[in-house]
Structure 1
């Protein structure tokens, strides 16, 4: 018996957070032992009385007891003491009481030993099987009552296996044969029927009321508290319900008297099943359990005294088996009906709770959707709008069909949107539509508003696909942005005009101030300062215009040849450095994968990254820039690495903020907008960009852009990078070299 004999930690452990000293643990251990021994003593007394009662029901001429309530008491006893620290005391007490009781009532000592062993093993097997098959029940490893017919079926199976296999077959029958007791198949069947009936009826009663008794102290505190709770429940019970309980009790008493005492030889036991059904269907299960226990015992007593239909059976063994089968049948039918009713009530209560919860959830979701400032529509697989919140009705009108809205939808350039390219239609086709700005006109076609529309596929319960569409009114936002862009363009234009004048006159004044006088030299220095300030202001204005364009301008997506574009940018940077007398940058690149992007935006992105790589290099060193790409998951990842001064620690993310300069000071001039422009260009294309340290020194920038047609990807993309020829030519041939590099660039990079 692995569960009964296993060492189990005491259930009276210290509460969490309380230091468990040796003395406190000892005190609690002694208390646990005392409680366990007190339970053992109580069950021992009850078991002894049940054994004596069973021995008093021995049928004349058979030597077998009609009932054996001690078997039911034993299984309840061992269930209660399942995890007790003194289980060995329970085993010894049961064995000794069984042996003494049988011997004292006339059973021979060898047979008494066998019967005691049979009762012990029977109880052990019952507890072990119950813990294996229904561990959640009280008496196993849980605290639950019998709650469904399935639990009753398992309990009956445990009872049969424990009584027949473990006790009767293994010990009772073999032991009685060795003790030279009279044996037959009828005796064996009567033995097992008696054990099954006793365990099932008495054990069911104990397992049903066990949770209530074990939790009595926690719920009521004392008998006075229990009486108050019971009195309150009775007073709250309707009078007709009390009358029904009394009617069932009275009718059962009269029916059993009529069926067993005043039957006049008629088989009047079968109408008693109707009373069992009445009690099981209408009354509480606790009442039914007591009903079965009381009237089952009455049926046995009537049969024992020769009253009732079962007493008419001449063979004493068949008489006992018939009576026991009747009690088990009545108990099983009643409990199955009652537990089925309880399970149905529990399920209905759970369904009602879930329905109420779903109703509250639906009401909350409806309130949330109705309170949204953005419009929301749900479009079914047929293109019908089945749901539209108040904001959606305000923006688009009442719900209807998707094709009713299509003629009123246009792109921002005025071109119509076809039915197949509507965001709901694309979502119904399985595509997730990112936010896109569209122009929606009124039904009369005059006034319109710009809505930012996104759509998401929503699988339906029946296997169809629906679409959830969100609408956000950006009309005012677009108007303000257009006004701001117009204002910025006008301001930039107005600022460039005086700047041009300042630059021109500064250059003219510098040319006029030609001489060696100190005053002229001072004036020339001042004019140079004015010129440099004008150049810086022009750079700031150009960067602001570029940032505005990168943020707001519409993208014209085409296939961009990055190899040719980087080569052209590298050649231009080389010419600029050579003209300025600076070290010519060395740019190495392989065959880069083409991307699907706006060509002008990508050129600006690469100009900024390559320009930064060249600018932020030690003046005494030659800039080395390496540009590579990889293709993965529909995107092209481009890496620009340099040998420059690198990025200060902790600024790898901040450098993409507006007006952030990682190297402030006169040594490296700038406005702090270049990388912000790069970040905006990449994110508008759906890609990412981040900065890191180059393992060989310097910085490394990596960004992703949507890949073009995979068929057009270079076959030698993994080839070693080639250096772009950027060495300066002589002054006499520079113009020809520049022209040749521009014209021959595609052929050179295709090699």
Structure 2
């Protein structure tokens, strides 16, 4: 720490003595150039966090007073100037620590950072004005106390002198420290030659303006030189340029030459010199810092562009190497982007490109073979803001004549807030998975059918055994056998029902929904009365339509949904079930079944339609009932979904079927008559 104090002390004393060379006798020995003000500001800023700061402040005041006495100033006046110098440097250090944190940092291991932003220049100017004002007030008051009569121009000259000292000599001192630590690389090649040319031209111009010319005010002509230097020279060289030629201009003007040499009023001449040098310094620094900020921004943009290009190339490589298809569609369903796998899976690589509409012309069918309407495409629902579950679509076209089942996963995409909505579609080939699953389900159906015969034998002998053991304790164990056999029969019947719903030949006809529902309601009322359960309340007044469908499967569909609603009732509650229908688009009829049960968890609204799903381990059935419902609806070209009851607790099951004798129903009937069941 002592070495740093000594170093700053030696530097400060040196520039103080050099600055005294510009003293004017007309101003009672007042210096026109004050490099000491800039060095003092840097000194205390660099040492503001040091525990030895009081030593720096004391040394600054003592060196100021001693140096002034050595150059002929009276001791009392030197003491006043020493206090003023300490006050100005302290104010600058304190304000810089608050308004310019990190700039000219005092920690040796960090070294701070140089002046590099235009906003920092304006703050330094403001801080320098405040600090110089404090020092000027102390000097003026002290001089008056000592019997002097300083003028307002003299006080203003002192203020401008100290501000210029900070801008030129303070900035130069701190920048020199960064250069000496190797934080700057000098220019080379043509740029070095241009910098040398700027110095040579400036030397000639300043000599002409301040050394030869004494009558014509051509100082303004030096401003283009400052602009040239600021725009073409590195900032350290610009600061050196400003330091050298400002000092030269001031010394020549004090010698009586130049455009300010004819000003007879000494304070006014000194003030004009300081203002002129201050303007040149501010213009040069402002342009240079603006250029540095622009260059830094351009460099960051180049780096960001390079990083973005590398990431884009990497993402393109990853996307193109995916086995799953990936595509982005606009609001019209046209391709914005796709990977090669999307073309392979869709079976039409030549036309799967930007601007091509992804529609039914690619040969999109439901897995049962019925065409997928344009309005039923999953991305259409996604663009409408709906939550779309994964959808399996059979693709059959000239490129894929044997057909391929592809699972479509869609999600909305908004690149910019408030911008156009797009859709991300991921294609996954599930042909082998579905074939494997279908084979397993077919095998399960065969096994279930084969197991019914031995199960019937078990149930029959259990009844015989129960009759023979009536009144004996072992009869309770027979009851257990019968309950297990009943559960087994329920499971096997579910497998057979699912197999029938999946593979059975459809026999469409007009089904009167009110009559069918009334029959189902009567059977459930009789069942509740027979078993002693709470009698459910049914509201079917809103059901007044007919559908064109297989009557056996429609009955099974409604019975499964009604039984599911009854099964979800809390203990002791009276079941309330409402059934209604309304016309839907494309010749479909939408049927809604609402209950007041416990409802379904929000995240399980799609899972309930999967095979062997049970939301509650205490529920009855095989877990295939709702999967059977989904299969029946899809085979008729409809859709089914579960959602919360909008009118209270419970669930609403909604599904669509072809409306009775509608054009869509007649089309389905023609298709059913022309093709075999799909597997």
Provide the TM-score with structure 1 as the length reference. 0.65
User: What corresponds to 1:638 in structure 2?
Assistant: 598
1:476 aligns with 2:436: no
1:87 aligns with 2:53: yes
* Cα distance in 2 for residues equivalent to 1:60 and 1:390: 88
The 8 Å contact of residues 252 and 275 in structure 1, kept in 2 or not, is answered as yes
Residue 438 of structure 1: which of 389, 393, 404 is its match?
A: 393
TM-aligned CA deviation for residue 510 of structure 1:
8.8
User: What corresponds to 1:386 in structure 2?
Assistant: 336
Secondary structure, counterpart of 2:48 in structure 1: coil
1:710 aligns with 2:635: no
User: What corresponds to 2:73 in structure 1?
Assistant: 107
After superposition, the C-alpha distances for 1:44-69 in whole angstroms (9 at most, x for unaligned) are 22222322333332112122211122
User: What corresponds to 2:289 in structure 1?
Assistant: 339
TM-aligned CA deviation for residue 75 of structure 1:
0.2
TM-aligned CA deviation for residue 367 of structure 1:
2.2
TM-aligned CA deviation for residue 452 of structure 1:
2.1
Residue 243 of structure 1: which of 193, 203, 211 is its match?
A: 193
User: What corresponds to 2:548 in structure 1?
Assistant: none
Secondary structure, counterpart of 1:61 in structure 2: helix
* Cα distance in 2 for residues equivalent to 1:639 and 1:475: 34
Q: Which moved more, 1:672-681 or 1:501-510?
A: 672-681
Residue 32 of structure 2: which of 66, 72, 88 is its match?
A: 66
Residue 196 of structure 1: which of 138, 155, 163 is its match?
A: 163
* Cα distance in 2 for residues equivalent to 1:338 and 1:473: 61
* Cα distance in 1 for residues equivalent to 2:629 and 2:136: 82
TM-aligned CA deviation for residue 438 of structure 1:
2.8
The 8 Å contact of residues 216 and 259 in structure 2, kept in 1 or not, is answered as yes
* Cα distance in 1 for residues equivalent to 2:218 and 2:62: 43
1:156 aligns with 2:125: yes
* Cα distance in 2 for residues equivalent to 1:133 and 1:548: 81
The 8 Å contact of residues 448 and 496 in structure 2, kept in 1 or not, is answered as no
1:489 aligns with 2:445: yes
After superposition, the C-alpha distances for 1:377-401 in whole angstroms (9 at most, x for unaligned) are 2221233222222122122223354
TM-aligned CA deviation for residue 91 of structure 1:
1.6
Residue 500 of structure 1: which of 456, 466, 481 is its match?
A: 456
Residue 377 of structure 1: which of 327, 346, 367 is its match?
A: 327
TM-aligned CA deviation for residue 348 of structure 1:
0.6
* Cα distance in 2 for residues equivalent to 1:456 and 1:441: 24
TM-aligned CA deviation for residue 152 of structure 1:
1.6
1:543 aligns with 2:491: yes
User: What corresponds to 1:44 in structure 2?
Assistant: 9
Structure 2 unaligned runs (5+)? Answer: 503-512, 541-555, 577-593, 601-610, 631-640, 652-679
1:168 aligns with 2:136: yes
* CA distance 1:593–1:406, change in 2 (3 Å): farther
The 8 Å contact of residues 465 and 478 in structure 2, kept in 1 or not, is answered as no
The 8 Å contact of residues 69 and 78 in structure 2, kept in 1 or not, is answered as yes
Residue pairs, 1:302-321, within 5 angstroms? 302-321=252-271
User: What corresponds to 2:633 in structure 1?
Assistant: none
The 8 Å contact of residues 593 and 629 in structure 1, kept in 2 or not, is answered as no
Secondary structure, counterpart of 1:365 in structure 2: helix
RMSD of aligned Cα (Å): 4.8
Residue 377 of structure 2: which of 393, 418, 422 is its match?
A: 422
User: What corresponds to 1:6 in structure 2?
Assistant: none
User: What corresponds to 1:16 in structure 2?
Assistant: none
1:147 aligns with 2:103: no
Structure 1 unaligned runs (5+)? Answer: 1-34, 217-225, 516-520, 576-586, 611-623, 641-656, 661-671, 687-703, 715-751
TM-aligned CA deviation for residue 173 of structure 1:
2.1
TM-aligned CA deviation for residue 351 of structure 1:
0.5
* Cα distance in 1 for residues equivalent to 2:306 and 2:380: 35
TM-aligned CA deviation for residue 122 of structure 1:
0.9
1:130 aligns with 2:96: yes
* Cα distance in 2 for residues equivalent to 1:346 and 1:629: 73
TM-aligned CA deviation for residue 548 of structure 1:
8.9
* CA distance 1:565–1:290, change in 2 (3 Å): farther
TM-aligned CA deviation for residue 120 of structure 1:
1.4
* CA distance 1:439–1:544, change in 2 (3 Å): same
The 8 Å contact of residues 462 and 482 in structure 2, kept in 1 or not, is answered as no
* Cα distance in 1 for residues equivalent to 2:362 and 2:155: 90
Residue 324 of structure 1: which of 260, 274, 278 is its match?
A: 274
* Cα distance in 2 for residues equivalent to 1:477 and 1:572: 46
TM-aligned CA deviation for residue 420 of structure 1:
2.6
TM-aligned CA deviation for residue 333 of structure 1:
1.9
Secondary structure, counterpart of 1:386 in structure 2: strand
The 8 Å contact of residues 431 and 457 in structure 1, kept in 2 or not, is answered as no
Secondary structure, counterpart of 2:306 in structure 1: helix
TM-aligned CA deviation for residue 549 of structure 1:
6.9
Secondary structure, counterpart of 2:261 in structure 1: helix
TM-aligned CA deviation for residue 207 of structure 1:
3.3
Secondary structure, counterpart of 1:458 in structure 2: strand
TM-aligned CA deviation for residue 678 of structure 1:
7.6
Secondary structure, counterpart of 2:326 in structure 1: strand
Aligned residues: 577
1:253 aligns with 2:203: yes
Residue pairs, 1:466-615, within 5 angstroms? 466-501=422-457, 503-504=459-460, 536=484, 539-540=487-488, 542-543=490-491, 546=494, 571=528, 574=531, 600-601=559-560
After superposition, the C-alpha distances for 1:17-49 in whole angstroms (9 at most, x for unaligned) are xxxxxxxxxxxxxxxxxx1x3322222222223
* CA distance 1:302–1:712, change in 2 (3 Å): closer
Secondary structure, counterpart of 1:387 in structure 2: strand
Secondary structure, counterpart of 1:46 in structure 2: helix
* CA distance 1:172–1:375, change in 2 (3 Å): same
User: What corresponds to 1:582 in structure 2?
Assistant: none
After superposition, the C-alpha distances for 1:356-378 in whole angstroms (9 at most, x for unaligned) are 11112222222232222222222
TM-aligned CA deviation for residue 706 of structure 1:
2.2
Residue pairs, 1:202-213, within 5 angstroms? 202-211=169-178
User: What corresponds to 2:150 in structure 1?
Assistant: 183
